[in-house]
Amino acid sequence: MTALWTHTEAAAATGGVAPTPWTANGVSIDSRSLRHGDLFIAIRGDNSDGHAHVADALSKGAAAAMVNESWATQSEASPVLAVEDTDRGMRDLARAARDRAPARIIGVTGSVGKTGTKEMLALALGEQGETAATQGNLNNHWGLPLSLARMARTTEFGIYELGMNHAGEIAPLSEILRPDVALITTVESVHLEFFDSEEGIADAKAEIFTGLRDGGGAVLNRDNRHFDRLRRSAEAAGVTRLCSFGGHPDATLRLTKAEPGPHGSNVTAEFGGRTLNYVVGAPGHHWVMNSLAVLGAVHMIGADMDRAAVSLAGIRPMKGRGEQRSITLTDGSFVLIDESYNASPASMRAAFDVLGATSPSGDGRRIAVLGDMLEIGESAPDAHAALAPDVLRNRVDIVIAAGDNMAHLVAALSGRAVTAHGPDSAAIHDRVLDTVRAGDVVMIKGSLGSRMIPIADALRALDREDGHSAAGEA
């Protein structure tokens, strides 16, 4: 196997010094998850310094450690790459990885749908060539360079997320990534706490155009109210190739029909005078919309859009992001819809729609277990209360909610749904477990900081079968 990095390549990329030879097959910034043969990069964070873990990383089989010059003298016998600053060193390594590979790269951002869209692209393009993609949610000022530094020199397609919660964060990431195509899934009131308006969020997302390579293209949501603003930003950045998607009559890739089901959707779309018929293997209209974005990006990157469309039948929602599991009890089973990783008004409504489209069995109920949506600013009380019509439209029988802001939704539902409320997720934990019974469909949703993941994990732990199986699958 060809090494990912040799000491000479890494030193040339970073301007560092590697006194002894080594080769690395991976890159890590966490000694706890490090694999044998990784280059460990000692990052200095707000609360910890990776240099304190260099010895542990090397004892676990790290090929070498990238360290600051001032620290390198403390351990002259260890295999190291000494650089002036490890943060900058990792960015330099990422740029070198981008330069040496022939990969055509898609950068993905947006208020919601980034990770699902990235996974769909990785699935579709992975069947057409060697593909690298962001692992998990590594999309910030450390995650993006780390992900790119891991890209093999033979990669043909790369799909990378760019995340932010403040203005000015995406531009430097885009300049490192230098994508061939920039995809913005949508702009919604996510992280509004840190912006004066949604327009400000749109402008922050448009920073992705900053690093586009010459001749690069943009993929934009034609149905989003900020489309024209984003299009103007793209054009101002020199973008001349644009593909829009959505149900809008002027969309380049236009949705004409979507037949939803409990485990996916049959989709019909029009593109360039021809009709595309395909299946999306994850339930919910948001997955349909993201599939259009995927096909637009595949086309813009120059890959086979028809093959990509066929691939989308194989997509499944991920843990914490819509994964469905059948949980077996002594007297039957219930369906768990795990949306516990994050939440915003738009994603909350999408999750309610999935819950509404999933039928309980027997005398089962639809149950929504909800935590606060965070980082949405002064509008938070009203934004939570405004979810009530979506709860009722989707025939949710029971709402068990946690957090100060979810109290406003519970109040808005008073007398129209069975509700319970607690100050935090720990306060409702036992109530949820005591409520759920065979036949139910239970959806867990909340921002990461509202700590709904432990409740989802506790419901999984009720499963009496040795193995887990995705709902609706054999």
User: Mean of the pLDDT values across residues 263-280?
Assistant: 96
Q: How far apart are CA 85 and CA 104, in angstroms?
A: 29
Is the pLDDT assigned to residue 103 strictly greater than 50?
A: yes
Region 429-441: mean pLDDT is 97
Residue 472 has pLDDT above 70, yes or no: no
| Mean pLDDT value across residues 449-470 | 84
What DSSP state is assigned to residue 360? Answer: P
**Per residue in 313-352, is it b (16+ CB within 10 Å) or e — as a string?**
eebebeebbbbbbbbbeeeebbbbbbbbbbbbbbbbbbbb
- DSSP for 139-167? -STTHHHHHHHT--TT-SEEEEE---SST
**Mean per-residue pLDDT, 173-178:** 97
Q: How confident is the model at residue 468 (pLDDT cuts 50, 70, 90)?
A: very low
Superfamily assignment of 323-470 in CATH? Mur ligase, C-terminal domain (3.90.190.20)
Q: Is the pLDDT of residue 177 over 90?
A: yes
Euclidean distance between CA atoms 297 and 312, whole angstroms:
14
In this structure, is the dihedral angle defined by the CA atoms of residues 100, 105, 110 and 112, taken in order, positive or negative?
A: negative
Give the other-Cβ count within 10 Å of 153's Cβ: 15
Angstrom distance (rounded) from CA 65 to CA 250: 53
Residue among 290, 282, 354 at smallest CA distance from 317: 282
Render pLDDT for 235-261 as a digit per residue (tens, 0 to 9).
999 999 999 999 999 999 999 999 998
The whole-angstrom separation of Cα 128 and Cα 158 is 12
Per DSSP, helices labelled H in 40-113 are 54-59, 69-72, 86-100
- What's the rounded Cα separation, in Å, for the pair 192 and 376? 5
Q: Look at the block and give the residue holding tokens 């406003």.
A: 408
How far is it, in rounded angstroms, from Cα 312 to Cα 149? 28
- Tens digit of each residue's pLDDT (9 = 90 or more) over 415-428: 888 999 999 999 99
Q: Which fold has domain 101-314?
A: UDP-N-acetylmuramoyl-L-alanine:D-glutamate ligase (3.40.1190)
Q: pTM for the whole thing?
A: 0.89
Q: Is the confidence at residue 470, as pLDDT, over 50?
A: no
d(CA 99, CA 397) in angstroms, rounded, equals 54
The encoded tokens of residue 194 equal: 């840190």
Question: What does CATH list as the number for 5-85?
Answer: 3.40.1390.10
Is residue 77 predicted with pLDDT exceeding 80?
Answer: no
Query: What's the pLDDT at 189?
Result: 79
How does pLDDT run across 106-154, given as a tens digit for each residue?
999 999 899 999 999 999 999 999 999 999 888 899 999 999 999 999 9
CA-CA-CA-CA torsion sign (196, 200, 205, 210): negative
The pLDDT, as a whole number, for residue 73 is 65
Q: Give the domain ranges of the chain.
A: 5-85, 101-314, 323-470
- Output the pLDDT for position 192: 67
What pLDDT shows up at residue 193? Answer: 75
pLDDT tens, 368-405? Answer: 999 999 988 888 999 999 999 999 999 999 999 999 99
Burial class (CB in 10 A: 0-12, 13-18, 19+), 297: buried
Model pLDDT, residue 469:
43
Q: Which three-class secondary structure state does DSSP give residue 403?
A: coil
Q: What is the pLDDT of residue 145?
A: 96
pLDDT for the residue 75: 57
- Decide if pLDDT at 191 tops 80: no
- CB distance 373 to 459 below 8 Å: no
The whole-number average pLDDT for the span 318-329 is 93
Q: Are 160 and 176 in contact (CB under 8 A)?
A: no
pLDDT confidence of residue 195: 81
